[in-house]
Amino acid sequence: MSDQERRRALAEFLRARRERITPREAGILAGPRRRTPGLRREEVAQLSGVSVTWYTWLEQARDIGVSRQVLASLARALMLSSVERRHLYALAGELPPEQPPGAGPGPALQRLVDALDPHPAYLLDANWDLVAWNRAEAGLIGDPGQLAPDERNLLWLVFTDPAMRTLLADWEGQARDLVAQFRADAGERFGDPRVARLTRELAARSAEFDGWWGAHHLADLDSSRRTFHHPRAGDLTFDYVKLAALDAPGVKLFVCMPGDERTRRSLPLLRGARDERGERDA
């Protein structure tokens, strides 16, 4: 989509959303001779705290800049839903607004992850934060629920938890691949505060991450095979299957399918395992 097409689409979207809101819904007293089906341009401008001329230019698809602060004001004035808000930011060429703290997948997705037991399964959000996992996954890598919320991140675990270096059979190869996959997956979100903070802190904590991140290698986030040296269940091999959660934008489901018969027979050991992070770190 060219810049002109994007501006035109933004103008059409704003106009359509403006025309669907009644003055009463916006808290505006409408006169008896009102003919506009929804809000007037000047009313949206007033509610958003911008000038009428500037907003008019926006609906005329003029080549003008739109800040994130103004987009947030327009979204409130037009009473946009979460999906409409993301669409607004995308049409304006901006990163989507951050999810509020605590926001994540709905209970149905959590039930799906739980139902996949005894196969390890988890959900990653757009920042690769672990937002849901089942008992088998906790038995495989340790219970993320015992970590601080900011530390429940796949990259953070791989590079800062000493136990992961012995748990992953090929830690160096898998860690390097994860860095390349994250750089590609987050490619459209560089500048996002969470991505910037995570990569900055990891670079300060890990020389390996700092070097691999600086190499700018890219890799697809596709299905892969990983081998683990588990302290209870022994050597385990899993084929990772990745699925996108359409009702939770940015969230991906990962399911670990046994790569051999021995791993399949060992699944019950993971399901009943408890977090032994303290023992492994000792």
Q: Evaluate the CA torsion angle 62, 64, 68, 71 in order and state its sign.
A: negative
d(CA 149, CA 143): 12
d(CA 282, CA 279): 5
Q: Which tens digit of pLDDT belongs to each residue from 241-252?
A: 999 887 777 889
Q: Which tens digit of pLDDT belongs to each residue from 24-74?
A: 888 887 666 777 678 989 999 999 999 999 999 999 999 988 888 999 999
**Whole-model pTM?**
0.68
For the chain, list the domains and their CATH numbers: 3-91 (1.10.260.40), 107-281 (3.30.450.180)
Q: pLDDT tens track of the chain, all 282 residues?
A: 688 888 999 999 999 999 999 888 888 876 667 776 789 899 999 999 999 999 999 999 999 888 889 999 999 999 998 879 888 998 998 877 765 544 567 788 999 999 999 999 999 998 999 999 999 999 999 999 999 988 999 999 999 999 999 999 999 999 999 999 999 888 766 667 888 899 999 999 999 999 999 998 988 877 789 999 999 999 999 999 999 887 777 889 999 999 999 999 999 999 766 545 434 443
User: Contact 139/271 with Cβ under 8 angstroms?
Assistant: yes
* HEC profile of the chain: CCHHHHHHHHHHHHHHHHHHCCCCCCCCCCCCCCCCCCCCHHHHHHHHCCCHHHHHHHHCCCCCCCCHHHHHHHHHHCCCCHHHHHHHHHHCCCCCCCCCCCCCCCHHHHHHHHHCCCCCEEEECCCCEEEEECHHHHHHHCCHHHCCHHHCEHHHHHHHCHHHHHHECCHHHHHHHHHHHHHHHCHHHCCCHHHHHHHHHHHHHCHHHHHHHHCCCCCCCCCEEEEEEECCCEEEEEEEEEEECCCCCCCEEEEEEECCHHHHHHHHHHHCCCCCHHHHHC
The gap from C-alpha 192 to its chain's centroid, in whole angstroms, comes to: 11
For residue 170, report the phi and psi dihedrals to the nearest 5 degrees. -120, 70
For residue 193, cis peptide bond before it (omega within 30 degrees of 0): no
